[in-house]
Structure 1
Amino acid sequence: MIIVRLRGGLGNQMFQYAMGRRIANDLGTSLKLDLTSLLKTYKSQMVTNRDYQLDIFNLEPIFLIQPDLLIKLDKLGLNFVSQFIKGIKLLGIKKYREKTFTVEDWIVENPKDNFLYSGYWQSEKYFKSAEDLLRKDFQFKDILSPQAQDIFDKIKSENAVCVHMRRGDYVDNPVFNSGSLDYFTSAANYINEHTEKPHFFVFSDDPEWCLKNVKFEQDFTIVDYKTNKIKFKEDLQLMSSCEHFVMSASSFSWWAVWLSNKEGNIVVAPKPWFLNSENDVKDLVSKRWIRL
């Protein structure tokens, strides 16, 4: 049995699931998802509380403990995390915590069974061998809402460029690079010089800010729509339908590019990926991407 601990938003959860799915598939064993850290309520302003978000896909998860039970325990204020860890040890499961941002070769080449893997695992190297399997797992479950479908139709009628402006908890954060307007303008100019008649579709968790501040010289659309469906799910689906990409330093951007699965497209990514970090992103950022 392989256990993977989920934490963070959708992009992080996709990395964690993908790594665990590949290991379980290689070893011919089961994958169970541990949500104890994900569904715990954090009071620190430095931590954004998240929900389990992989249910937008067609994958069939097996949870170590059911989400409803974990949420109830959290509301009761019980320290279920420490009790859970003790229980795991009694079952003979060893816990391994990611030690470095770069790929740990033994996990790629000789992963171990009966382990709980805790980390972010942000590299395609961890799951490249299971790409076909994961592309089936990461198929979107529901059709687009009418509002999102209208945008999708427009994207498909243009030489569409996805511009992802990640703001939210990235703004004023000393670690994460939300990207300056100069970066996005330079990236748009680069793509304009290297492709014919691009139309830039700007996606953001803060479209109101984009409407006030984004002024590209090229044709562009600020994607801002109301929907009764899951907004981040529809955004990811729309983003991945574009031809070219201007990324934020975000796992959400990363997966939009991966899901697009287009050879020879232009992808611009920010440099640096982190503002104040010694993390080496060579295993995360593709060598073919343009860094600006």
Structure 2
Amino acid sequence: MNQEIHIIIEQDEQKNDSFILNQFDLKHDQLNFTSFVEVYSELENYNLQTVENSNEVAQFSSQCLQEIRSMFGSDQTIQKSLNYIRLSKRITKNKIENLVPIAIILTFSKSNSDNDIKRSKFNDPVPINYYVKAMEFISKNISTSNGKLMPMFYVFSENFEIAKNIFNNMANVYIIKSQNLSEVQQLQLMIKCQHFILSNNSLDWWAAFLSKNPGKIVIQPWYFPIKVHGQEQITTISQIFKTLNTQESWYSLNQFSINESPMIIKDQQNKEREQQPYQIYESQKVKEQINLDSFEVQIDQKSAIKTLIRQQHDKNIILKKTNLNEKQNQTNNGILVLSRFKKDGIGNQLFSYTAGFVLAQKLGYDFYLVDEVLDLKRERNFNEDSRDFMLNQFDLVYSKIISEKQAKQILSQGYETIGAKNYKDFFNNQTLPHSKNINLIGYFLNTQYFKNNPEQVKAMIRSDANLNKSNEYRIWKQQILKTMGVAVHFRIGDLANYYDNENRVISLTYQIRAMHFVADKIKEYSQEPPVFYIFSDDYNLVSKVFKNTENVVIVSNGTLKSVEELFLMMSCKHFILPTTSFSWWPAFASDYKHKIVVASEFDWPHQYDFENFQKPQSYPKMRDKTNFEMDRQSGWYVINQFVISFKPPSQIK
């Protein structure tokens, strides 16, 4: 080499990492060249003391590009563990099987102490929204070049549990435990991939830089939160990577925004973005969470009048069509008692109610609802995991609410049990009751039972007139109604290992893809930006996933009642649903003219062929006591929750 660059480095004594440069296939002039590359990569084992002439560094890297890739892109001299060999063969095999391997480093919070500032500038985790948007973008580009190719995403993560929660039940995502591999092994595995989604970590930058794939797609975050003397600042990709020689053919993506798409780095729009690098990030700081303590419920007279008109309209619909004990079979004084399984949540309770309501109308029976809490010496449990009776919180039509003891007294006079299996016979008038009293109990997840009067059912479900409202609920409702609200439901807990060890949890990537889709669809009729309201039974997880994501507000913080959250969903204009009846009801009951509803395509993992990435011609009928099948309504959209591919959501006709 004709030119030398003198660099002084020292190993961080606070770290026990072993010397790793001897694992690369370095050339003869090792000392100065090796030192340069170590600083150039900003690997976390060392601290930079001095670099003479940064212009010479850039010139040096340009001249030696091929030599750098040759030396650091080879795994011939690295220590190969059995795990590394297995993963290396898997990635190589993918290329033969029309699977396109794509490398991702999933970063989550590390130590942010002052001692770490010199060692690593990039401390904040990149929002998951960024990764999913990049995954969609690469999938689309791959399919454009060859429709037979399927992306396979290799996720390198130090936090395996969080990565597993995010990418749960994904057919084309493979999670690699970073703890089981050295940094050098991780680097070499990434280099074997064909495309790259970069984080705020220099290791994956090196993988993309060293890759020899001429058609590689590289996406990296646009903004970088960094800490300087303990103070958080925001800088842009071009400023951070001036010394790292970022390639102009790579893409950058605003990681804080739901609405933006990747763009080529040399694009003029990026230069315009660079002029105001703080705008998007700082706006999120304001919207990160609503400060409930500083809000007061303010009565907007026009809004109040609209609400009253709406409530009266719904009430008229209910009363106009209700004929319980009034119009037909007036001589029949039979009683239909709606009992329930104690594990029923609110969604299932509403389905049971509608089945009983419709049947009571048909038969002309009195309609009694059984509330087991009336017999208990405790208050009603309104927590998120509560399975207490909640139908009294809705503006429903029934004869009366009775206790379990009262129900037993009524049924002791003789009764007939109707469940999910024989309900249709009575509903279709094929069978008449043999007793004056009916005990209705079971799972009735079927909208066909109220297909003749859906508007009446919707009106009853929409009304919060009977809801025991907290002040926090009133504040949230007022806030949501002012915005282009999108209800996004994440259900985690009780879907895992729900039945026969079949994990029905949906990957969080599904909801995020749906958020991207809804944001684009809203633009077709409105310029108002969407605000995504997050409802979930796992606050800790969603708060990490959506940290620093623009226009995303987490509602479920453990202080609202579960039934209040259902009504707050109903205040939104658009809906993104997992496989659960809880959020199905707000989407169904909403009468917003332009509402967009996105649902998952499948109810169960066994309904999808994970090996061949397709819906199987047939699949075994799994035993499920609820017979759960989400009724996806005409006009709704569905997304395959098990694979990230180029296919856009399809609309149900």
TM-score by length of 1: 0.76
Correspondence 1:1-292 to 2 at 5 A: 1-7=335-341, 8-34=344-370, 50-59=387-396, 60=398, 62-63=400-401, 66-67=403-404, 69=405, 88=411, 91-99=413-421, 105-110=424-429, 112-113=432-433, 114-135=437-458, 137-138=460-461, 139-140=463-464, 141-142=466-467, 144-173=469-498, 174-175=501-502, 177-196=504-523, 197-214=529-546, 219-225=551-557, 227=559, 231-276=561-606, 278=622, 284-292=631-639
Q: Is the 8 A contact 1:2 1:115 kept in 2?
A: yes
Distance 1:3 1:224, change over 3 A: closer
1:62-110 Cα offsets, whole Å, 9 max, x none, are 356x14x59xxxxxxxxxx9xx69x94x74422233239xxx7544432
Output one character per residue of 1:183-206: Cα deviation in whole Å (capped at 9) or x when no partner. 111111111221132211111122
After superposition, the Cα gap between the structure-2 partners of 1:157 and 1:205, relative to the gap in structure 1 and judged at 3 Å, is same
What is the alpha-carbon distance in structure 1 between the residues aligned to residue 532 and residue 588 of structure 2? Answer: 19
Deviation at 1:61, TM superposition (A): 5.7
What is the alpha-carbon distance in structure 1 between the residues aligned to residue 594 and residue 362 of structure 2? 30
Amino acid at match of 2:416: K
* Separation of aligned partners in 2, 1:282 and 1:53: 23
One-letter code aligned to 2:418: Y
Cα drift, residue 54 of structure 1: 1.1
Would the aligned equivalents of 1:188 and 1:216 in 2 still touch at CA under 8 Å?
no
* Distance in 1 between residues matched to 2:432 and 2:630, nearest whole Å: 21
Q: 1:288 to 1:105 in 2, by over 3 A?
A: farther
Residue 24 of structure 1 aligns to a residue in which SS?
Answer: helix
How far apart are residue 265 of structure 1 and its match?
1.4
Q: Cα RMSD between the aligned structures?
A: 3.4
Given the superposition, is the C-alpha separation of residues 26 and 133 from structure 1 closer, same or farther in structure 2, using an over 3 Å criterion? farther
Q: Against the structure 1 CA distance between its residues 201 and 283, is the aligned structure 2 distance closer, same or farther, given a 3 Å change threshold?
A: closer
8 Å Cα contact 2:366-2:399 kept in structure 1: no
The range that moved more, 134-143 or 197-206, is 134-143
1:134 Cα deviation (Å)?
Answer: 3.5
Seen in structure 2, the aligned counterparts of structure 1 residues 55 and 176 have a Cα distance that, compared at 3 Å, is: farther
How many equivalent pairs are there? 264
**Structure 1's 204 and 25: CA in aligned 2 closer, same or farther, altered over 3 A?**
same
Farther-moved stretch of structure 1 (265-274 vs 91-100): 91-100
CA contact (8 A) 1:163 1:246 kept: yes
User: Does structure 2 conserve the Cα–Cα contact (< 8 Å) formed by 1:125 and 1:283?
Assistant: no
Judged with a 3 Å threshold, the aligned counterparts in structure 2 of structure 1 residues 5 and 223 are, in CA distance, closer, same or farther, namely: same
What secondary structure sits across from 1:129 in the alignment?
coil
- Return the offset for 1:151: 2.1
Cα separation, 1, equivalents of 2:432 and 2:550:
51
* Deviates further, 123-132 or 191-200: 123-132
Secondary structure of 2:400 counterpart: coil
TM (normalized to structure 2)?
0.36
Shift of 1:163: 0.1
User: d(CA) in 2 for partners of 1:233 and 1:170?
Assistant: 19
Percent identity over the alignment is 26
Q: 1:234 to 1:49 in 2, by over 3 A?
A: closer
Q: Which residue number corresponds to residue 78 of structure 1? A: none
Larger Rg: 2
The superposition leaves residues 199-249 of structure 1 with CA deviations (integer Å, 9 ceiling, x where unpaired) of 11111122222101236965211114564xx61121011100111100011
Distance 1:223 1:283 in 2: 24
Secondary structure (helix, strand or coil) at the match of 1:51 reads: coil
- Tell me how far 1:20 sits from its aligned partner: 0.4
Unaligned runs of 5+ in 1: 41-47, 71-80
State the one-letter code of the partner of 1:52: F
